[in-house]
Structures are given as structure tokens and as C-alpha cells.
Chain A
Amino acid sequence: MSCLVIAEHDNKSIKVATLNTVAAAAKIGGEIHVLVAGSGSGAAAEAAGKIAGVTKVLHADAPHLADFLAENVAALVVGVAKNYTHILAPATSNGKNVTPRVAALLDMQQISEIVSVESPDTFVRPIYAGNALATVQSSDAIKVITVRTTGFDAVAATGGSGAVESVAAPADSGLSSFISREVSKSERPELTAAKIIVSGGRGMGSGDNFKILEPLADKLGAAMGASRAAVDAGFVPNDWQVGQTGKIVAPDLYIAIGISGAIQHLAGMKDSRVIVCVNKDEEAPIFSVADYGIVGDLFQVVPQIVEELKK
């Protein structure tokens, strides 16, 4: 057995999602290699070699790998694929974009968003917005997998001694070009890596009103998230969306403010350790998953929580 993990990184450092994916690879067994594809990504490749359990880093560096365009990255992965029994990527937007392209080029049926490894060919994955868990067995020669990061505790970022080996990048496909990126800047922790998340829903009423959540997030060192309704209404950026079709999170503490708790939202946060909600409708479904709920008007309750936290 031998696993190749496609790294999520920003050229300088390795993202935590990579560490969760290495953890899944470790459950499968065999050697673990990490592929770092990027531009000016030497530091990320170095960091990948230090990940606990990693024995080799394949490093491809080229200008046309800078923006992780699926056509170029998939061609690169396919070029090295034959050496591996398993190819894994985190189920991030990059992973979800590139990995199925790799799978199809290899004529393999991808196994999406696994949350558990039962054996080298058998995995558990949520279906129907997490309302069911399917155990699936793959008969394919190379298992191409995306990993739901909340299913696997991150391995240590240090302790490994993987040598970095250069691999040549295939030529630019010329099929797609990167134009621009609008990154939502924030001093707060990343949503998928945060220990505490404060999320707002349609009940917030406006983007401006999200300001009342800021002191709470500040006090708790929390990331901020939202329901689809809040994003669709333009209150907050799209990358705040938690849920079936947004981000899947499982922090120690998830605080849902003015969120009703639709199935599609619960799909993204119901594996959080502790869930708190504030909602003026005591019948709201969010109460059925919340460990602690307050029935009340969020505009009164949220500032009160902040006051209490100061005590």
C-alpha cells in the first residue's frame, strides 16, 4: 500500500486540512507521500516533509501551477498516480475541484468525503446531507478519495523526515486562465480550523447587524460563519456559509444566532462538540441539536452574553 496526499497549502505553509488528510492516509496504511504543487512553493514543500508520518514529498513548481487550475494539477497527479494504491485530497474547494478530474482520467470512481476508514478498500461517507452514513467498498485499482477533514484528527505538523523530490510539471494546458481572486480578509481564525465559531442567520436582519456578533467573536477568539440565507441576502461573504453545500465544521463550540436549523445547515455543524443557539422561536429545529439554547431576541441576548463573558 502507498498513499499520495495532495497538499492544500499557500506556497509558504501547509494548511491544517492537509494534516487531517494525512491522518486518513495513516489509517489506510503503507507509505505516505505528499504532493505539493505550486509556484514559489519551496517553503510549503519543506513543511510537508516535516509532517508526522510523511516519508517523501513530491514537489512540482511552475508558474502555471500557481493558481491550482484543475486541468494542470490533474495532469500532474495522473503522471505520478501509477505508483500509488490510494490518492487522497482534503474535501476543500481545491480538492473537490481537482480530484474527480484525476479519478476520471484514471478511469476510477472517486469516493467523496470519507469520514472513516474501515479497511484499505472500505470507507464511510455521509449521504443525503448527513442524514445517512454509507459504508462503501471500492473495487478500483487506485482508490481516489476526498477526505472530510472533520472526520480525522490532524496529525502533528512536525516529526516527519520526508525528503523533497522535484517532479516536472506537465506543460500548461492552455484551456483555462486565472483572472483574479477576491479574498475575504479577516483577522479571525479560519472557519474550518477554528475552535469556536459564532454564526449568524437570516434572523440577524442585515449585514450591519452582524456587527453585534463581533464583540462576542472577539471575546471568544472565534471565527464567524453564517447560514445560506444570510449569505444569499448579501449580509456576509459566501465563504462564511456553513452547511451541506458550504463548509463542514466541527469546532468545540458552535454558537448559532438567529438560525432556524434547516437540515442543510445542520449538515455542516451537527458534529460540533457543544452547540449553543439563540432564537426567538422556541419551536425552531436548531433547539433539537443545541446543548444549550436561549429562547429570546438576539439583539438583547447577544450583548448580555458579551457582558457575562467579561465577568
Chain B
Amino acid sequence: MKVLVSVKRVVDYNVKVRVKSDGTGVETANVKMSMNPFDEISVEEAVRLREAGVATEIVVVSCGPLACQETLRTALAIGADRAILVETDVELQPLAVAKLLKAVCARESPQLVLLGKQAIDDDSNQTGQMLAALMGWPQATFASKLTIADGKAQVTREVDGGLETITVKLPTIVTSDLRLNEPRYVTLPNIMKAKKKTLENLKPDALGVDVTPRMKTVKVVEPPKRKAGIKVPDAAALVAKLRNEAKVIS
């Protein structure tokens, strides 16, 4: 079974992002970039499926500027077999990414596509569901457990009320939640090996996909700051404050 995994290059989750002073976006120059954490989990899951003899080949795809090659190399170092960059400098919105991934699916015919539940930059939580819609495939989002058997995937999903288990027919889309697995550390030998793996470069035009944004960013601002609070010495002082000053309890 061939598995396709999408990986997005995003501002590292440890970076304290700053809004640009001209209000056009957030500062991304000279900022540490990494693979979206959810995508790292997806790549790990694919590698485990191959180690278990379920997956035979793992193809990773990233859409965006040339620098995404670095993210793809990381995925190859975790254990993916080959990589595809869909290169563009246009700002990509989820629907456009879903269309690009659809075109890649048409070429690759995977049985399983793993995406992250959400990208930690745009926090959209859309692309996987959109790709499933465009392919006419089922979707299993927010996965914390995945098993493949008998032409089906059984997925435990993290939902508001707890956990839910569904089965979906293959081919399918699965989006990873944080507790699906704990990604391994990449080792130096694997980083070296990754340098020799194939990395193909495609362009949206060649895939016949129009990636023009549908949503315009009018402005980006910092959220209102909370005013600094105080430290109180003990429980008695706290409860007095909550009763008499904040008046949130009686």
C-alpha cells in the first residue's frame, strides 16, 4: 500500500511570533522554521505502518517556496522514501493546497493520505477534509489511533465528548491528532541517507491547478494584551479578592 503524507513548513512552535509593524502579517524573516508538528506525527505514523509491513512506499509532499525542500528532507530522514515539492511563491490557502494534493494523488494513486489536523500557523483545520471531498473519499479526522485491515482503516478520533471510533474504506484521508504517536528523533546516518533520496519538483501550472487566493488578508494586528495581574500571598487573600474585587464567586 502506498502512503502519501503532506508536510507543511511553518514557523517553529517555540517561536514567539511578532506581528509586522505595517499590519500585513507576522514576521517570518530570520525566524526558525520547522515541519508542522502534526505532519511530523503523520510521517512517523507512515513509517510505523511500513515497519509493520502494511505500507510499501511513503511519498511526502510539500507545497510552497523552494525552502520547503528542507522540510521534505526532514521527512525523508524520519523514513519517507521519496519527496515531491509543488513549488510556488503564491500564498497558498487550504482549498488551493487540497487541489494541488488532489493532482498529486491522481499521479501517485495512494491508498492512504495522511495530513495534519491543523497547521499551527493559519490554524485552519481544513485541508484534509477538503482533499477528501475533492477525491470523493471518506475522511477520518483527528486520529489518535489508526489500524489498517481488510481494505479499511479503523480510526479512533478525538472529539469534544471523548473518543469515537469509525471505519473508513480505502483509499482514504486521515488527519493526525497529537496523541497518534510520538515521533522519533532523526539520526545523523538517516539525515545522510535522506540526501540521496529523490526529490521531485513540480509546478502548480503543470498540475493544472489555479492557486489564486480566495481570501484577502486586510490586516493583521496583535491581540489585546491582558493587563498585568498581581501575586497574592495566600489562599485567604485570593478568595477575598475573588469575592470582593473580581466578584466572580459569592
Interface of A toward B, CB cutoff 8 Å? 67, 69-71, 74, 92-94, 96-105, 107-113, 122, 126-140, 173-184, 192, 196, 220, 228, 231-232, 237-239, 244-245, 247, 252-253, 263-264, 270, 273-276, 282, 287-296, 301, 304-305, 307-309, 311
B239 sits at the interface (CB 8 A): yes
A292-B242 Cα distance, complex, nearest whole Å: 9
A263-B96 Cα distance, complex, nearest whole Å: 29
A1 to chain B, nearest CB (A): 19
| Contact between A128 and B216, CB atoms less than 8 A apart | no
A-B contact pairs, 10 of them (CB 8 A): A97-B139, A104-B130, A108-B95, A112-B122, A126-B123, A127-B220, A128-B11, A133-B221, A239-B160, A253-B248
A243-B217 Cα distance, complex, nearest whole Å: 24
| Contact between A245 and B126, CB atoms less than 8 A apart | no
| Contact between A232 and B178, CB atoms less than 8 A apart | yes
| Contact between B98 and A291, CB atoms less than 8 A apart | no
Q: Which of B177-192 contact A (CB under 8 A)?
A: 177-179
A282-B26 Cα distance, complex, nearest whole Å: 30
A278-B141 Cα distance, complex, nearest whole Å: 35
The answer, among A134, A183, A239, A304, for a CB contact under 8 Å with B220, is A134
Q: A97-B129, A133-B221 provided; 10 other pairs, C-beta below 8 A?
A: A96-B125, A100-B126, A132-B223, A133-B223, A179-B166, A179-B167, A196-B249, A244-B120, A252-B248, A287-B229
The answer, among A181, A184, A228, A309, for a CB contact under 8 Å with B239, is A309
A70-B144 Cα distance, complex, nearest whole Å: 18
| Contact between B223 and A131, CB atoms less than 8 A apart | yes
| Contact between B162 and A182, CB atoms less than 8 A apart | yes
Closest residue to B178 on the A side, CB-wise? A245
| Contact between B179 and A232, CB atoms less than 8 A apart | yes
Interface of B toward A, CB cutoff 8 Å? 11, 13, 16-17, 19, 26, 93-96, 98, 117-118, 120-134, 137-142, 144, 154, 157-169, 177-179, 213-223, 226, 228-236, 238-239, 241-242, 246, 248-249
A8-B64 Cα distance, complex, nearest whole Å: 36
The residues of B that contact A104 with a CB separation of less than 8 Å are: 95, 98, 129-131, 133-134
The answer, among A136, A138, A304, for a CB contact under 8 Å with B234, is A304
| Contact between A176 and B166, CB atoms less than 8 A apart | yes
| Contact between B26 and A237, CB atoms less than 8 A apart | no
A137-B248 Cα distance, complex, nearest whole Å: 37
The answer, among A101, A136, A176, A253, for a CB contact under 8 Å with B133, is A101
The residues of A that contact B141 with a CB separation of less than 8 Å are: 70, 96-97
B244 to chain A, nearest CB (A): 12
